[in-house]
Amino acid sequence: MNINDLTTKLPKEIMESASKRGISILTPPQENAVSEGLLDGKSLVIASPTASGKTLIAEMAMVRSVIWGMKKAVYVAPMRALVREKYLEFKEAYPFLKSAMSIGDLDSLDRWLEEFDIVFVSTEKFDSLIRHGLGWLEQIGCVVIDEVHMIGDQGRGPTLEILISKLKRMSSSAQLVALSATVGNAKEIADWLSAGIVESDFRPVPLEKGIEFNGIVQYDSGREERLDSQNKLAEVRVVEDTLKKGKQAIVFYSTKRNAEAGAERLSKAISKSLSNDDAESLKGISGDVLGVLSKPTLQCERLAKVITGGAAFHHSGLVNEQRNLVEDSFKSNKIKVICATTTLGLGINLPAHTVLVRDTFRYGEFGSSRIGVNEVTQLFGRAGRPRYDRYGRALLIAQSRSDAEELYERYLVSGLEPVNSSLGILPILRTHILAFVATGFLTSKEAMLDFLNTTFYGYQYSSSSEMGGIIGRILGELESWGFVNKRGSVYSPTRIGERISELYIDPLSARWIMGSIPKITDEISVLYMVSNTVEMKPHVRPSEEAVEKFVSYQDMLSDMANDPDSDGLMEYDPVKPFATALMLDDWINEKAEREVIKSYRTTPGALFSKVSNADWMLYASTEMAKLMKINAKKLLETRIRVKYGIKKELLDLIRLEQVGRVRARAMYDNGIKSVSDLRDPKSEAVVKRLFGNEIAAKIMAQVPGLK
């Protein structure tokens, strides 16, 4: 079907945009979606492989809703990186539409979003907007839920499932379009959503899946291929063979450490095959990676080194700018192979000709186990680039013939696994039940049970008695903690309970913080208070120094936990959050990033993630202190110090734009100890000497009283 055949069903703007991007013929999933009622406003579940055209399906529904339906459209995805990617793609494709992205502050209604036609949001952000009293729910004509299979994820799934269930009730007239590449029970999800279904195995670039053993690949088609490499290491054989074909590869590993070690091995192996131009370009990229942090860490140096050889590693331990450099350099064919953890396979569009899943075992709480079929299928989906490859190649490595047979049966010929709800877990439900009461959405146990029976969990398990017990226990906790009141069968929020829900933190964390605020004495106790919350997990591994220091603080920490209502609030091993508090204390005392990362055996990405989470928890703590009528000065001060990584003496200078921890320290050490010191005629020359004329001009322009 040609897209121009849909002139009576689609606004001309969609066809014009598609034409500019070289899209004229609909793919089978797109054609089936139209046949199933996509352009008549029918809700649909689209289950088809990566790159099969799901994005255009979403576009057609959203843009049609805006232009012809005069309604808003919302795009929702569980991962911020995916939301950002789709937003930028859409802005380029439809620059004439008013589109906006909101993935940040969870304590804001973002009223400015009311002015936009299409809003791109993360799951948590959309849920937060509803908690804050979103006023334009009735104006929504279409909601796209990307990666809907994530409702089975224990971390992200429950919020996504609750959000979808809320939308079904609160915005019942809106068209729901749910997208997934890896779901074995799409029909069950469609039935839950009262939606139609489009299932397809179409891929624009055919995918060959195979098992490599001793240099030979056995494909699921029956074809065999001998790799053009004699290297002893299987991952090197696969990558060398890929590069000889003039292609690129992504290799997936189970851990960050494995990914980094793999990148080092592959960098050494392929560096000699690089062209002079590529080698020169890679030197520049390597320098950019080193320059991201004020002082490069060992990990920065390690990444920079492997990049010069044409490889890179990619995982959550990198800071965002480094990840972007790696991704952009791979897209431009400068970096030839990326060694990644499985997070790269989720959502973002970074395909390669060859994908190798080297590790199919993962160590967890209960030992080693095979990763799921759906996850491997998701990773395989990165293989094959439209417009560049005639076919994609997705491979696994076997250690023996019997291993090859097991891998073949498990991952190549078996079907996708069904997605199951993770909602029936008490700690996960706690924050949502408080939100039900706080927003007035549901105010009785019976109403909550009725609503939760409409969730995917209720659809799958229909266990009212078990769910009723969980709801009752949570409501009892929330009432005993002073977050909700009960009159008869009706629950209402207290002011603190309402605020905790708006702050989007776990009520358990809030209870711990409220009990700790009156007992904090110094920065360590403040940092321990926020580190010992649900939101700060996982904690860093305690060092011997942390264990030793814990002894001297034990009395104080025990006093913080000495509360008759705090049973279960403390970390089972309090040394773990204490170690995280010590890491943050080193950070606010201006210990270099490199030293902090080495001392606590962490990564730059993990450090800055902890800093970001601590910043949020300190903000939440400050808000709770206000309601408790307790002076929040120490909390506010510590929050600023955590945000910028500074000692107390730099608090005044950090107010200036263009001034971070490094520049503030340089100014202070050169005699400029406050903003008022910049009024001294000699100060401008000092700032110019330190930072150059351009930065100096921006700094001096902020000084009150100077012209």
Higher pLDDT, 108 or 695: 695
Dist CA 566 CA 170 (whole Å) = 36
Residue 337 clears pLDDT 80, i.e. is over it: yes
Asked if residue 38 lies in contact with residue 60, where contact means CB atoms within 8 angstroms, the answer is: yes
**HSE on the CB side for 232, CA within 13 Å?**
1
Mean pLDDT of all residues in the chain? 91
Residue 693: exposure state from Cβ atoms within 10 A (0-12, 13-18, ≥19): exposed
Nearest-angstrom CA–CA distance, 3 and 296: 51
User: Which residues touch 153 (CB under 8 Å, ≥6 apart)?
Assistant: 78, 422
CB distance 198 to 29 below 8 Å: yes
pLDDT reported for residue 3:
92
Portion of the chain with pLDDT greater than 70, in percent: 96
What pLDDT shows up at residue 347?
56
Domains parsed from the chain with CATH numbers: 3-199 (3.40.50.300), 207-412 (3.40.50.300), 426-491 (no CATH), 505-645 (1.10.3380.30), 650-700 (1.10.150.20)
List the structure tokens of 622. 């400050």
Q: Is pLDDT above 50 for 567?
A: no
* β-pairing verdict for 484-487 and 490-493: antiparallel
Q: Tokens 């959550």: give the residue.
A: 316
Does residue 569 carry a pLDDT above 60?
no
pLDDT over 50 at 565, yes or no: no
Which pLDDT does position 428 carry in this prediction?
79
Please tell me the predicted confidence (pLDDT) of residue 246.
Answer: 95
Q: What is the pLDDT of residue 564?
A: 43
pLDDT tens digits along 648-681: 999 999 999 999 999 999 999 999 999 999 999 8
Mean pLDDT over residues 613-624, rounded? 96
Mean pLDDT over 63-82 rounds to 94
140-145/118-122 β-pairing: unpaired
With H, G, I as helix, E, B as strand and everything else as coil, classify residue 354: strand
- Give per-residue pLDDT as tens, 573-609: 788 899 999 999 999 999 988 899 988 988 898 999 9
Answer yes or no: pTM beyond 0.85.
yes
Confidence class for position 559, pLDDT limits 50, 70, 90:
low
pLDDT digits (tens, 9 = 90+) for 108-121: 888 999 999 999 99
> How wide is the angle at C-alpha 246 spanned by C-alphas 243 and 249, nearest 5°?
50
Of the pLDDT bands very low, low, confident and very high (cuts 50, 70, 90), residue 555 is low
Of the two residues 438 and 349, the one the predictor is more confident about is 438
When comparing pLDDT for 553 and 156, which is higher? 156
What is the predicted pLDDT for the residue at 562? 56
Respond yes or no on whether the N-terminal peptide bond of residue 95 is cis (omega within 30° of 0).
no
Which amino acid is located at 491 in the chain?
Answer: Y
Query: What confidence tier does 482 reach under pLDDT thresholds 50, 70, 90?
Result: very high
DSSP category for residue 415: P
Q: What is the pLDDT of residues 457-476, one digit of tens each?
A: 999 987 777 888 889 999 99
Q: Which of 524, 552, 550 is nearest to 634 (CA)?
A: 524
Q: Has residue 257 got a pLDDT over 50?
A: yes
pLDDT at position 301:
93
From the list 195, 133, 161, the residue with the least C-alpha distance to 76 is 161
In 441-566 the beta strands, taken as DSSP E runs, fall at 484-487, 490-493
How many CB atoms are closer than 10 A to CB 513? 25
Give the model's pLDDT for residue 6.
92
Measure the CA–CA gap between 322 and 698, rounded to whole angstroms: 27
> What is the structure's pLDDT at 561?
58
Mean pLDDT computed over 328-348: 86
Beta bridge partner(s), residue 197: 45
More confident site: 612 or 347: 612
Do 161 and 421 touch, CB atoms closer than 8 A? yes
- Using alpha carbons, select from 439, 347, 429 the residue that is nearest to residue 137: 439
pLDDT tens profile 346-381: 656 788 999 999 998 887 666 778 889 999 999 999
